[in-house]
Structure 1
């Protein structure tokens, strides 16, 4: 009887294996990209906007003359993204779902490119695993649900590297195709730097790729790459000059505490200590498995050779080292989000570590453990207050919409850093504030050449509130700065008293009436 039943039981397994074998590289990359898109897209509309997203939306909603006036003073390095978002908002609106959707799409494109790139150097299972692990890294799921250019820049970085490998391996192709590939590399490099200037950090990594992946004589490959890179940098000269002239806009980095290597090891990609421990453990396994393997040993399990793994390790380490060392020796330049473009390499190296484990049970257990420690971080990211350590502007807008009436006044706390000023809630959720009198406003941001509204202290406009019977104070409660009490005191002297005070998350809404 077992002779009859066994083939029946084996048939589905054999059919499943045939299906896996029938999964072409193109299909596997497409499926991984689709999974990555849905992981980033899911609940991306749930968290409230935060300061950097407010800058994106406010800049994109400007008229073209106003936007170009802004870029002439600040944020020129984000100009191309703002122009793109301007058209996107015209088509799809300013909801969280709409403005964050391009980033989710970009993560899907980046994940698909990660599979294609890794497949050049290692087995398909490891390449697919690298794309999937990249898709769930906390830094990736965060930027995949954010209205900023980081995810788009990461996608460009991946496909720029794919294009480089294709150009290096085009030895048997026609001269025309080789020129086309190198020209495409130059143009994509320029586009990437216009989207995100720090994509230039990838060039030292590409030097490693040239050494490892060349098919032409090395000297010829180096010359071709240097020429294509020089052309790309030449095309980006305007944005490089603009970024250099506006470098004061990242001066805030110098006011932050010095980032330790141990802090960067956690926060740069992994967000929490449990995720960092699991990820770095698998990265160490990958390095030991590949570099301790005797040279000339047959590659098993689709593991890459040492030279190939060096590409992804360099991609992980070199940009981070440049920013950390540059911050110490030159000028403050290190920011966690600048290293988001290294996340594809992180996913691939972790996948190599998983594949290097002794058997399928250990591999499955490591993946389950990794996902288990990532899920809590993902849940926090997709919560109502998942951005910028608790941004609550949508919830604040809901309270104002429910309780304020047309003709009421509104005053915003101006004593915190610009990205946390409660005033931004009015610009990203404007419907809730319709009909309210903005007491301290002197000139709207859209009529200036800068990012923010021009305002005056409440004490200077006391006569303007004589006809108001109710005023709403929106105050940031994060640092307990005693200066915020001065607005309450000013209004008290004008005959108002505190009717009600509501703490949303980190914004306090104070209703003051005569």
Structure 2
């Protein structure tokens, strides 16, 4: 019923003050642009970039060689190997075993899951941007992602990082949609592919906390608890294999400077209405996982930039929103020109063997050139035996002086080492040893057998020839005369 009573005298009607607009996510229904129209172009462009030069001139680097070897083993062999090493990558090895079962092993099937993973990441970033800041912001965010050199790099590596990036992206989408069961499942899968994806769950917690809505916080807390509970057995078991990360060095000053610059760029991009719409999700993803891993690494070195690769999702969302807000024809042409410069300057190089830390094929060729049939062969540290996992022929006529049991016989990744005393005796019985080593200045493994290798080479052998291939030293050592 309409109240027609007159207002009381002496009490004039009050006009309510104007409401201040508060940035909030734009619901999908507010845009006439369908989601597929925003997601498909970046996904297809990323697919093209991913397939461009995917074989990298027929080369593999050391970590990819490990994936290639593990994927060709049987499931019982993989399971047995994970009991001694690389449990953190077990799910990826099983996935790649399935790929190699369906498709003959090769470089394309090895890297295709990563190509598809980055394509899915580009699509997810575009949809998140559309949901939060509108269709143009979403499209620009997805396209920005496809131009980042680091994205091109890991889109063409036979490791888990691109797949983790895709799962974190779609987990972020499910977080925004408050689909907690699906969110928990996707984020748990991401963490099982690589444990440090749990840092992005922490970043999602910051996003939820900023929204200050109790029902959302409860849903996230339960989902995050399920993720941590599901990850706990693997995390606890992987601690027993912590010697695998002894090669990681303390973070350098440039790592902290890079984080500060990224954070400053992200904050600058968020200081506009469009950026404010994506800030609560994008900024924590951009900054928090990297910052946490750097801080932990001051106590126990664990920081490697690819371990926190999903930061590119936050970066692309913030850059896309900033481009959308300041969009002009001049800016559009400048953005296109900048993207072309990046692609031309970095794209071809990233598809060459020199773009990776090492090339197992080049190392094998160098060994074949300097070795003589019957020479002793020494891998130090032992994990450098990964260089012989794919290109085995150049090593076949050499005697591996530290090997006790082969990788297949021992159910390990690189085989088992003989005792320090046996290694010393074997080395001293060899007139010549070809040693495959890290570059000087790299962290030295602390195991007794590794110390024995270094001591015997220094005390009883003279370096006759040395070649450096990427980040690998191949030295020919000749035993000194007694006395």
TM-score bracket for this pair, using the shorter chain length: 0.7 to 0.9
Matches within 5 A, 1:7-406: 24-46=34-56, 48-167=59-178, 181-210=179-208, 218-253=213-248, 256-260=249-253, 262-266=254-258, 283=266, 285-290=268-273, 303-304=274-275, 306-328=276-298, 330-357=299-326, 359-373=328-342, 375-388=344-357, 391-398=358-365
Shift of residue 151, structure 1, vs aligned partner: 0.8
Q: TM-score, normalised by structure 1?
A: 0.72
Instruction: Give the match's secondary structure for 1:35.
Output: helix
- CA distance in structure 2 between the partners assigned to 1:321 and 1:280 by the alignment: 10
- CA distance in structure 1 between the partners assigned to 2:374 and 2:109 by the alignment: 31
Shift of residue 361, structure 1, vs aligned partner: 0.7
Contact persistence 1:409–1:472 (CA under 8 A): no
- Where does residue 479 of structure 1 map in the other structure? 440
Q: Deviations over 1:430-457 (max 9, x none)?
A: 3x34853444243212223543234568
Query: Greater shift after overlay, 45-54 or 111-120?
Result: 45-54
Shift of residue 250, structure 1, vs aligned partner: 2.8
Contact persistence 1:29–1:112 (CA under 8 A): yes
- CA distance in structure 2 between the partners assigned to 1:403 and 1:359 by the alignment: 60
- CA distance in structure 1 between the partners assigned to 2:301 and 2:473 by the alignment: 30
Contact persistence 1:284–1:353 (CA under 8 A): no
Contact persistence 1:439–1:465 (CA under 8 A): no
- Where does residue 172 of structure 1 map in the other structure? none
- Alpha-carbon spacing, 1:219–1:508, altered in 2? closer, same or farther (3 Å): closer
Instruction: Give the match's secondary structure for 1:121.
Output: helix
Q: Deviations over 1:208-229 (max 9, x none)?
A: 4435679xxx222221222222
Contact persistence 1:354–1:367 (CA under 8 A): no
Contact persistence 1:282–1:354 (CA under 8 A): no
- Alpha-carbon spacing, 1:138–1:220, altered in 2? closer, same or farther (3 Å): same
**Gapped runs of 5+ residues in structure 2?**
1-30, 443-452, 479-483
- CA distance in structure 2 between the partners assigned to 1:477 and 1:239 by the alignment: 30
- Alpha-carbon spacing, 1:27–1:308, altered in 2? closer, same or farther (3 Å): closer
- Alpha-carbon spacing, 1:228–1:288, altered in 2? closer, same or farther (3 Å): closer
Shift of residue 207, structure 1, vs aligned partner: 2.5
- Alpha-carbon spacing, 1:315–1:55, altered in 2? closer, same or farther (3 Å): same
Shift of residue 187, structure 1, vs aligned partner: 1.7
- CA distance in structure 1 between the partners assigned to 2:272 and 2:375 by the alignment: 62
2:415 paired with 1:453:
yes
- Where does residue 481 of structure 2 map in the other structure? none
Q: Deviations over 1:23-79 (max 9, x none)?
A: 632133123112112212321311632222233233333343433233223322211
Shift of residue 81, structure 1, vs aligned partner: 0.8
- Where does residue 379 of structure 2 map in the other structure? 414
- Alpha-carbon spacing, 1:121–1:503, altered in 2? closer, same or farther (3 Å): closer
Instruction: Give the match's secondary structure for 2:404.
Output: strand
**Gapped runs of 5+ residues in structure 1?**
1-20, 168-180, 269-275, 291-302, 493-497
- Where does residue 447 of structure 2 map in the other structure? none
- Where does residue 387 of structure 2 map in the other structure? 425
Q: Deviations over 1:209-257 (max 9, x none)?
A: 435679xxx222221222222223323332232234434433443xx13
Shift of residue 400, structure 1, vs aligned partner: 6.8
Q: Alignment RMSD, CA only? A: 3.8
- CA distance in structure 2 between the partners assigned to 1:475 and 1:208 by the alignment: 46
Shift of residue 413, structure 1, vs aligned partner: 4.3
Shift of residue 120, structure 1, vs aligned partner: 0.8
- CA distance in structure 2 between the partners assigned to 1:70 and 1:56 by the alignment: 13
- Alpha-carbon spacing, 1:459–1:210, altered in 2? closer, same or farther (3 Å): closer
Instruction: Give the match's secondary structure for 2:83.
Output: helix
- CA distance in structure 1 between the partners assigned to 2:322 and 2:455 by the alignment: 52
Contact persistence 2:137–2:324 (CA under 8 A): yes
Contact persistence 2:250–2:301 (CA under 8 A): no
